[in-house]
Amino acid sequence: MTTATAGPNVRPAEVDALRRALDLAATDGLVLGPNPRVGCVLLDADGATIAEGFHRGAGTPHAEAVALANARAAVGPDALRGATAVVTLEPCAHTGRTGPCAEALLEAGIARVVFAQPDPNPLAAGGGALLRAAGVDVVGGVLDDEARALNPVWTEAMELGRPFVTWKVAASLDGRTAAADGTSRWITSAASRADVHRLRAGVDTVLVGSGTVAADDPSLTVRDADLPGRQPLRAVMGLRDLPPSSRLAVPDPDGTETLHLRTHDPREALTALWAADRRHVLLEGGATLAAAFWRAGLVDEVVAYVAPVLLGTGPPAVGDLGISTITGALRLDVTDVAVITPGPDHLDGPADAGPGETNVRLTLRPRKES
């Protein structure tokens, strides 16, 4: 249940603290990997802030631990007895690289916990129940929608139990990804290609098939000085060996490595990526790989760049889906439309295939059967 304002069980000061915790959680921008962004504010009995903290990513202290440490350094441990912890995510009950936050709050003497989003991770969930069993007053679901919006992909991945998959495709108006003779490597404009690098910067894995590696020799890196420097994992799916001279056969100059998933089964590939703590996969392969993921029902989002070009022939955006009638068509709902106007080309490489072209970026979600 979402509580937008203070209800009978939540004080206005706690709602204000939770909004502050949401702001704290977003301090470092997008945090990729297995952990969500989380913020925590500690309040005294009068609703005044004692200390606060936020999580900086996997392997670092959780938000509650940071806030507790800051409180002990500022006012001493005794000030935490009877205090309230306000957190954007249910305190975890899991021992991983760090200890359970629920137990840390108990040890500190926290008497009340107000949290926003229940933890969707089955391995970490249960902190609220643990705290209640120990006599702590716990209220959950406050500003839940705002908390989910802070970590939308992570939340969906946890609920799915596998990485969230975004399929990126760049095509002509008639759905071709290249000309029949292979001359048009770039279908969309330079501005669209720069936007793809923004898209890559927001995921933790870029996945292609071994056929794409052999045909295009992609680098799959983020190459824009204005974007965060951390590179996504480069993953290749397929049985054939990578050409020794290909860009993905050796680590990128910045140390980015390649994970070769020797399988044709999308579910097996996603299982391996999940085990490697990957939560958001950008599918950039060709028509064959795209069709495999669609047939398996493993595409969660589509980002399509459409150029005002007609080719008539050439490789299609997606391969055979086994659909023979219009009633079997895969339907999608448009969630966003953006017009990408010409701009400076931030990327090194061949001349633009369509100088000055305006492209359209469509974001879509597969329609869920009712």
CA distance 338 to 341: 9
Residues 6+ apart with CB under 8 A from 52: 20, 21, 24, 39, 40, 41, 42, 67, 70
Q: Provide DSSP, 298-319.
A: ---EEEEEEES---SSS-BSS-
CA distance 107 to 290: 50
State the DSSP code for 176. Answer: B
CA distance 95 to 101: 9
Annotated catalytic residue: which of 52, 64, 301, 357?
Answer: 64
**199 near 167, Cβ under 8 Å?**
no
Catalytic residue status for 64:
yes
Residues 6+ apart with CB under 8 A from 63: 21, 24, 25, 38, 39, 40, 53, 54, 55, 87, 88, 89, 101
- The number of C-alpha atoms within 13 Å of 86 and in the hemisphere containing its C-beta is 31
**312 near 178, Cβ under 8 Å?**
no
CA distance 147 to 170: 32
CA distance 204 to 232: 5
Using the structure block, give the residue that is written with the tokens 């957190």. Answer: 87
- The type of residue at 274 is W
CA distance 328 to 330: 6
Q: Angle at the Cα of 84 (from 83 to 85), degrees rounded to 5?
A: 125
Using the structure block, give the residue that is written with the tokens 């009068």. Answer: 46
Q: Compute the Cα dihedral for 233, 234, 240, 245 and give only its sign.
A: negative
Residues acting as catalytic residues: 64
